[in-house]
Amino acid sequence: MSEAPPPRQETWDGPQPGGVWRARFLFPFACFWCFFYLGFLALVVGVFPKRSRKWRTPLIRAWGKSMLFMFGVKLEVHGAQYRDLPGAKILLANHVSLIDLFIYSGEWADPGSVMYKKEFSKIPLFGFLMPRLGFIAVDRHNRGMAQESMAEAASRINDDGVSVWMAPEGTRSRGKGLGHFKLGAFHIALETKAPIVPSVMRGLEKINPGGGMTLLSGTVRIDYLPPIETKNWGRADLRNKSREVRNQFLRYLPPAANTKDYDPELNAESTTATN
């Protein structure tokens, strides 16, 4: 008989999501608004490339928040002071679905960037806007190109002091639990010495069941955890560091099948949290 899994140290039961009919009724209007706004943003970036750099943060936040508002999605944010700490940082977030993009946008750090799959470049307007907004494409099918993207992210962090959103799982979980963490974000942390801010999202698995295109009304809770210093990390430490950081997420999230659950014995003393 197998032992029962350990309970989450941090539990949260948000309100029940709304019905599917509201989401289906709003879907065509939301699609129209999504691409209308992106068209407007492309016009601003194309006509006023220099000035748009100053307007970038409020414009990105407005897009994300307006999309969430249309679907009746509320954000319950805790620990925003860690997201807003001055200086460069790496914001690591669990990745449930494509809808996460609305949340990243609504919660945009200033100045900020995000690493995104190169496949997004094929989507109309997205492909034009993302590089012009300073976002960084990653070709997951080409190791050499992926390493170049990581180097570019490290350069942006060091030279421009930006906060970069990254999904350490590397792919969507579709609400099936927290997956393994890939090492890309941790290599960037090693190169830049920028602190890591774990950003835990909960509730998406309810309002976006199965990670599809249906977005129900409801609440998503975001917990920004105290930053983890990386100044003393060494290359040989990366795999252990990734496990320690993932273990912090597992205080709040269940693991994916065939992955490790929260380990209260895992030594996290070397990941120093700074307030």
The residues spanned by each domain of the chain are 20-249
Q: Return d(Cα 108, Cα 72) in angstroms, integer.
A: 19
Parallel, antiparallel or unpaired: strands 112-117 and 196-202: unpaired
Angle separating helix axes 20-47 and 51-71, nearest 10 degrees: 170
Q: Write out pLDDT tens, residues 222-250.
A: 999 999 999 999 998 899 999 999 999 99
Cα distance between residue 84 and residue 199, in whole Å: 12
Q: What pLDDT is attached to residue 112?
A: 85
pLDDT at 140: 67
Rounded distance, CA 199 to CA 182, Å?
A: 16
Q: Are 214 and 23 in contact (CB under 8 A)?
A: yes
Fold for the domain defined by 20-249: Glycerol-3-phosphate (1)-acyltransferase (3.40.1130)
pLDDT of residue 210: 77
Q: What pLDDT is stored for residue 142 in this prediction? A: 67
Q: Do residues 169 and 95 touch, judged by C-beta distance below 8 A?
A: yes
Distance CA 135, CA 113 (A): 5
pLDDT at position 80 is 93
Q: Which residues of the chain have pLDDT under 50?
A: 1-5, 268-275
Cα 224 to Cα 235: distance, rounded to the nearest angstrom: 26
